[in-house]
Amino acid sequence: MKTTLDSSALAEIAARLEPDHLEHARLYPGDSRLRQPVHTLYGGAQLFRADSAAKMGRMALTAIDELRA
């Protein structure tokens, strides 16, 4: 029993799907490669407050200042 597709069958399937792949890539290009976050902050929902982002931003700036000193 043959359990894999031969290369000609795969090529035909890929050719049929290519227009849809290109359209998907056009509609959903993904994240820019120019700037990406370096870190992700994980915390429980019980820790989140209205000022959480601002507080973490201040902490990050303080850490950068300490590195420069």
Instruction: Note the pLDDT of residue 30.
Output: 86
Two tokens, residue 32: 């820019």
Q: Are the beta carbons of 57 and 41 closer than 8 angstroms?
A: no
3-state secondary structure at position 44: coil
Instruction: Note the pLDDT of residue 50.
Output: 94
Question: How many helices (DSSP H) and strands (DSSP E) are in the chain?
Answer: 2, 0
Instruction: Note the pLDDT of residue 1.
Output: 65
Report pLDDT digits (tens) over 6-59.
889 999 999 999 999 999 999 999 887 787 777 777 888 898 899 998 999 999
